Amino acid sequence: MSYDKMQVEDNVSSVTQFVLLGFSDLPKLQGLLFGLFTIIYIIILVGNSLIIIVTRLDPALQKPMYFFLANFSSLEICYVSVTLPRILKNLWTQDRSISRLGCATQLCFFLIFAAIESFLLTVMSYDRYVAICNPLHYPLVMNHRMCVQLAVGAWVIGIPVQIGQTCQIFSLHFCNSNQVNHFFCDLPPLIKVACGDTSLNELCVYLVALLFATIPFVLILSSYVKIISTILKLPSTTGRCKAFSTCSSHLIVVVLFFGSACTTYFMPKSNHSALTDKLLSLFYTIVTPMLNPLIYSLRNKDVVSALKKFFLKN
């Protein structure tokens, strides 16, 4: 083996940590960004925690719809906690390094929680489908046992696949550059800094995204086609408005999450720009979890009423 080849292999194996460039191209805005993301994190924690508390305590919210909403709010807290604390640390200390193991752990949990969100949104759309299209069978179909099984399935089904995908990505060789032009460890920017042929890895990303994003999204759309068709047949204008109001909240969240995530993961590598990746990632990792409590509470009279009672008692 020639000296040059040995030197290249040594350089490849020496990448034991990465540097998350994040918002380093905005040096004058570091303090402002730290304050902004701190406020957003507090809003996410408080907003989603309030939804979990009121759906557990208020007797009027002991329904499958709010059981899944509590699960969804719990997920959002976990999901955003994978990325935001690291972003805040990087902005505060200006130390953007992350170990290879730390990066792999962050990516793994991020992918797992993203998969859970995809499946949980699908389960929530199924709940609305049964409630509106088959109201007489709703109590029988969506009993407590079924709700628990669907929730557990959504939480665990994607774990083995995402662990496997993380192992596959980190089995790649990373070249001399260990600078990841992103604010957290995500698939597209990591593949960019890998050397050698990554076409198989890109194909796997597309296939997993197809399984965990496209198929659930199609199922959700199918549910809503039937839901909207049923709603339009309702004789009462009040009933139609109430049904549309209940479903529109979920549909807004679905569009925000799947729209930004699918654009990121299905866009060819050659068409990826670091700025586009960052902006889209902000939507499905930070903006959507922040808006969810507002969307679900402000557009739902039962949740608003439960929040009012909760604050009046305290």
Q: Is the pLDDT of residue 4 over 60?
A: no
pLDDT per position as a tens digit, 73-130: 999 999 999 999 999 999 998 888 999 999 999 999 999 999 999 999 999 999 989 9
Give the residue carrying structure tokens 């679905």: 254
Show me where the domains of the chain are located: 11-300
Q: Is the pLDDT of residue 184 over 70?
A: yes
Burial call 295-308: b when 16+ CB within 10 Å, e when fewer: bbbeebebbeebbe
CA distances from 142 to 129, 182, 215, 225, 231 (A): 11, 41, 22, 20, 20
pTM above 0.75, yes or no: yes
User: What pLDDT, on a 0 to 100 scale, did the predictor assign at position 267?
Assistant: 65
The residue-averaged pLDDT of 37-53 equals 93
Q: Is the pLDDT of residue 222 over 80?
A: yes
User: What pLDDT, on a 0 to 100 scale, did the predictor assign at position 152?
Assistant: 95
User: What pLDDT, on a 0 to 100 scale, did the predictor assign at position 7?
Assistant: 40
Q: CATH assignment of 11-300?
A: 1.20.1070.10
pLDDT per position as a tens digit, 53-87: 999 988 888 999 899 999 999 999 999 999 999 99
> What is the pLDDT confidence band of residue 314, given thresholds at 50, 70 and 90?
low
Q: How many CA atoms lie within 13 A of 308 on its CB side?
A: 7
Q: Is the pLDDT of residue 210 over 80?
A: yes
> What is the pLDDT confidence band of residue 32, given thresholds at 50, 70 and 90?
very high
State the maximum Cα–Cα separation within the chain, in Å, rounded to a whole number.
81
Mean pLDDT, the chain, whole residue set: 84
User: What pLDDT, on a 0 to 100 scale, did the predictor assign at position 36?
Assistant: 93
pLDDT per position as a tens digit, 134-167: 889 999 999 999 999 999 999 999 899 999 999 9
pLDDT per position as a tens digit, 262-302: 776 666 555 556 677 777 788 778 888 888 877 777 667 78
The residue-averaged pLDDT of 303-308 equals 83
Share of the chain above pLDDT 70, in %: 89
pLDDT per position as a tens digit, 241-272: 776 776 777 788 888 888 777 776 666 555 55
Q: Is the pLDDT of residue 5 over 60?
A: no
